[in-house]
Structure 1
Amino acid sequence: MAPKFGTSGLRGLVAELTPELVADNVRAFIAACDHGGTIFVGQDLRPSSPRIAGDIIAAARAEGIRVVDCGALPTPALAYAAMSAGAGAIMVTGSHIPADRNGLKFYVRTGEISKRDEAGISAALGRGAAGLDGALESDGGAAGRFVERYTSAFGPAALAGRKIGLYAHSAVGRDDLKAMLERIGAEVVELGRSDSFIPVDTEAVDPDTRAQIAAWVSEQGLDALVSTDGDSDRPLLADETGAIVPGDIMGQITAEALGAEAVVTPISSNSGVTRKGFSKVMTTRIGSPFVIGGMEELGGQVVGYEANGGFLLGFDAQGPAGVLSALPTRDCMLPLIVTLVAAGKGTVSARVAQEPPVITMADRLQEVPQEASQPFVARLRDAPSARAEFLGLLGATEAACDLTDGVRMGLSDGRIVHVRPSGNAPELRLYVEAADRDAASMLMDKGLAALRAALFETSA
């Protein structure tokens, strides 16, 4: 499948992200979007990222654009640097998907592009190169300024006395996150650093990784463990027992701690947010561009977050020691730090237990081509009988159905089963919601088994 825009950015197989295709998309972005005449370029640690970043730089300079090369740094750090300079940006990253894939994430001067911008880029493809020679500069301090954003807002004692594990793996922001935590008082124990790229999906942590995290927490006597995905815009947090804290729970805690009045979050997020007293809660389709669109619509003291934990700050918020300026792009550092700080002198699990009693989980079937997943989900969408047959495999019946994004089935006992094909990877996503962790875990296991059975029957 040719590279295309998914939930966040343009992604595809590395073999298909040719210099010609990359250059075509860069020229289209320059023609269609507000970049202020300057583009900041960053990259994650995938083997293919340096080559693609070089293709971007060459294509932008050929259009007469000033380019600032920031090297390897977290996606939100690149966005922060570009927005601070009134410039556009392009990040080379495939986020959490395997290393045989990669992508481009575009930013206009005000932040991450919208779906409207994506349409403009697609419409502007096919332009010839101008043959100009734009300036090239480097900025090795962008990640450092990003670290300072948090350390100045939280102060040197915010996590004093806390022992935090850092699952470093191949995350581009591993050193930056370590520096942040240490500068606000935590003792940091680095674990699992890798020179080879590891695709960590913070929303659907695999069983082996969960077991390893729990073992590290126990062996090291940690108060919590943190990590991120490959480009460090999605957080992973485990509490003092080694249990993973869902990203949307971190989002709820962070929104409350920062004094948000309105919240925008995708339909797949925990519905408990509606019980927390925010003046407005808007649900959207899955993907940060949809969240950004909702934030723009609501305005004011608005935040957004996703079930993967990425947090978008739509206003200048007050931290314990200073101001956090607005950063309307997916960020993993803020929800990690705020949730740890919100635990106070107690435990992370105790703070999580204060949230409404609703538990969500996400997982996926991998290596399911879109040629199989999309027709299957379409049948669920279009035919109540297909949904009844699928839910019959779970011993459940449907009470409601929401088609905002994929098929979200409310069951007669209040639980939720949500099926959705990935927009840019060969995966079929499953989200479930129940009243407690055990019930959600059981529903997830049964749901994945039912999906396998239904897909096998469909393809037979």
Structure 2
Amino acid sequence: MKFGTSGLRGLSVDLNGPAAATYATAFARYLLSSGQVQSGDRILLGRDFRASSPDISAICAGALTRAGLRVLDCATVPTPALALYGLELGAAALMITGSHIPADRNGIKFYRPDGEISKIDEDAIGVEAAALMAGSAPIDATPGSADDHSRQAEALFLARNAAVLPANALAGLKVGVYQHSTVARDLFVEVLAGYGADVVPLGRSADFIPVDTEAVSPATIDLLKAWAAEHELDAIVSADGDGDRPLVSDETGLPLRGDLLGLIAAQFTGAAVAVTPVTSNSGLEGQPDLSILRTRVGSPFVIEGMQEAVRKGETGVVGFEANGGTLTATDFTLNGTTFRALPTRDSFLPALAVLSLAARHQRPLSSLAADFALPVALSDRIENFPLETSAALMRYLRSGADNLAAFLAPIGKPDTVSDIDGLRVMLTDRSVVHFRPSGNAPEMRCYAEAKTADQAKRVLEQGLACIRAFDKQRRTG
């Protein structure tokens, strides 16, 4: 088990048992010892649709109950809905989800009563877990049960999203909802239909399908394009497994970049400051009336950046990641009502912001996206890429300018280098290539930016080819 960019992750077979009980107990002990909760306080549990999630959730329920907390079962709700309900009740929470990673993996996201945990909290939970595993007594992984609060959590989230836009704000739009196995699938249909959109549910699946909104697979894009043409859609909306990362495609089925969704959401709220990782589009700095602050990849770092901005007296602070998940650090007034700060990734706010933009301007999303004139940005990943190989590659690239230049020779000549998170290199032709190991899975990610789509595609393909060549050379000696 390992903490990554967003929560604890590992193989389902490893988490489903004593490991789940260990980390749930460790979280409870940390909350109790730090005075953030008292014995008998409520704690929430949610989960995604992975086959392993119900069992892991039940194990966590048993462990939390034995630790002295009262567990409320919120079942299969989006992570932002669980987090919002936790803030409403002043209760800590656990979300059993592997987000977008393969179905044979799973994880746990942890929330304090005041919001998502920090890296400091992760370290403290890890210390408690290590102490439990080092103890003489075996970890009790007996499953438990909990009171059902799924309707309350859903109702609060629906009410939040039903107040963002004026009545019938999406009338005239025909929107597909790619339902697959995301826990946001039914709520998206309800919210969009409530604003008057003609909603077409698509691709619902009983089996878990990992959808990475930051690197949408070619097969998924083919599906979106076919549905867009078949149903004459204005857009298609979806999310990842736990519903905190949005996917929005234009009228052709082509997904919009997640950082563009975040930018549109920031403008929709009237934010003055947006905090975003280094992997987000470099063209964000050129957008008017919005100050951009860069961080490492991962919601804890974005939240830390937002909190720092608020401490400095900034008002109107949002955050978003390259995957489109949008966070709010301050309250906003939207449609005459208070939109409460929710400092965790949310897929609904950016989706509604983008669709309302299309409805107001009565123009295709592809045309509206082009107006922002951002550099073309692409990303992809190599799956099942050993962690030790990723570490060896990054050591090689960081060990000297000659190594970096030799590695990048098929792509171009390096000009400037950023080492905030992975290596982000601007080449002499002003294109960008960025190599970064995944923080929570055996994957190597590559990001590319350029003036044209063809150039960005070339940089991305060559970047991935360079990674594969390094791996092959390392394996064959």
DSSP 3-state at the match of 1:153: coil
- Structure 2 residue 307 is matched with structure 1 residue 309: no
User: Which residue is 1:403 aligned to?
Assistant: 419
Task: Identify the match of residue 263 of structure 2 among 248, 252, 255.
Answer: 252
Deviation at 1:144, TM superposition (A): 2.6
Which of the residues 107, 112, 127 maps onto 2:111? 107
Please list the CA deviations of residues 119-143 of structure 1 after superposition, one character each: whole Å capped at 9, or x if unmatched: 1111222247899xx9942202112
How many aligned residue pairs are there? 456
> Does 2:475 match 1:459?
yes
| Contact persistence 1:357–1:436 (CA under 8 A) | no
- The match for 2:25 is 27
CA contact (8 A) 1:89 1:107 kept: yes
Deviations, residues 63-108 of structure 1 (Å, cap 9, x unaligned): 1101111111111111111111101000000000111100000001
Q: Is the 8 A contact 1:312 1:327 kept in 2?
A: yes
Q: Does 1:281 align with 2:297?
A: no
* 2:21–2:140 CA contact under 8 A, matched in 1: no
Indicate whether 1:444 and 2:444 are aligned: no
- Would the alpha carbon gap of residues 241 and 399 (structure 1) be closer, same or farther in structure 2, given more than 3 Å must change? same
- 1:432 corresponds in structure 2 to 448
Q: Is the 8 A contact 2:158 2:187 kept in 1?
A: yes
Letter of the structure 2 residue corresponding to residue 425 of structure 1: A
CA contact (8 A) 1:159 1:181 kept: yes
Structure 1 contact 263–304 (Cα < 8 Å) conserved: yes
Residue 370 of structure 2 corresponds to 353
1:2-21 counterparts in 2 under 5 A? 3-21=1-19
Structure 1 residue 35 displacement after superposition: 4.5
After superposition, give the CA deviation of every residue in 1:197-230 in whole Å (9 maximum; x if it has no partner). 1111111111111111111101110001111111
Partner in structure 2 of residue 413 of structure 1: 429
Contact map agreement 1:65 1:135 (CA 8 A) in 2 = no
Q: Which amino acid aligns with 2:162?
A: T
Matched with 2:202 is 191
Equivalent-residue separation in structure 1 for 2:59 and 2:289 (angstroms): 45
Task: Give the letter aligned to residue 147 of structure 2.
Answer: E
Measured after TM superposition, the shift of residue 374 of structure 1 is: 1.6
Counterpart-to-counterpart distance in 1, 2:465 and 2:167: 48
**1:298 is aligned to 2:309:** yes
Shift in Å, 1:244: 1.2
Quick one: which of 50, 63, 66 aligns to 1:62?
Answer: 66
User: What secondary structure, in the 3-state scheme, does the structure 2 residue paired with 1:283 have?
Assistant: strand
Give the AA of the match of 2:95.
Answer: M
| Structure 1 residues 323-367: Cα deviation after superposition (integer angstroms, max 9, x where no partner) | 321110011111011011122221212221221432221110111
Distance (Å, rounded) in 2 between the aligned partners of 1:454 and 1:79? 41
Deviations along 1:154-183, one digit per CA (max 9) or x if unpaired, are 133111110001111111110011111111
Q: What amino acid is the match of 1:51?
A: D
Worse overlay, 218-227 or 18-27:
18-27
186 and 440 in structure 1: CA distance in 2 versus 1, 3 angstrom threshold: same
CA contact (8 A) 2:284 2:374 kept: no
Distance across 2 between alignment mates of 1:323 and 1:223:
29
What CA deviation, in whole Å up to 9, does each residue of 1:282-302 have, x standing for no partner?
111100011001011111321
Structure 1 residues 193 and 38, CA gap change in structure 2 (3 angstroms): same
Aligned 1:321-400 pairs, distance under 5 A: 322-343=337-358, 344=360, 345-394=362-411, 396-400=412-416
Q: Secondary structure at the match of 2:201?
A: strand
Q: Would you say 1:422 and 2:438 are equivalent positions?
A: yes
Partner AA of 1:324 in structure 2: F
Per-residue deviation, 1:279: 5.3
- Give me the whole-angstrom Cα distance separating, in 1, the residues matched to 2:165 and 2:304: 29
| Contact 1:432-1:440 at 8 Å conserved across structures | yes
Shift of 1:449: 2.0
Determine helix, strand or coil for the equivalent of 1:368: coil
Stretches of structure 1 lacking an aligned partner (at least 5 in a row)? none
1:41 paired residue number: 45
- Structure 1 residues 35 and 305: CA distance shift in structure 2, 3 A: farther
SS in 2 for 1:379: helix
TM-score (norm 1): 0.95
Residues 135 and 49 of structure 1: CA distance in aligned 2, closer, same or farther (over 3 Å): closer
Secondary structure at 2:163 match in 1: helix
Structure 1 pair 453/105, CA: closer, same or farther in 2 (3 Å)?
same
Calculate percent identity across the aligned residue pairs.
44
* Aligned residues: CA RMSD: 1.8
Q: Whole-Å Cα distance in 1 between the matches of residues 290 and 374 of structure 2?
A: 20
Q: Give the AA of the match of 2:87.
A: M
CA distances 1:404-452 after superposition (whole Å, capped 9, x unpaired): 1111111011111000111221110001111233322222122222222
- 1:271 deviates by 1.4
**How has the CA–CA distance of structure 1 residues 17 and 135 changed in structure 2, closer, same or farther, with 3 Å as cutoff?**
closer
- Alignment check: 8 A CA contact 1:66 1:135 kept: no
Alignment of 1:208-219 (within 5 A): 208-219=219-230
How big is the shift at 1:278? 4.1
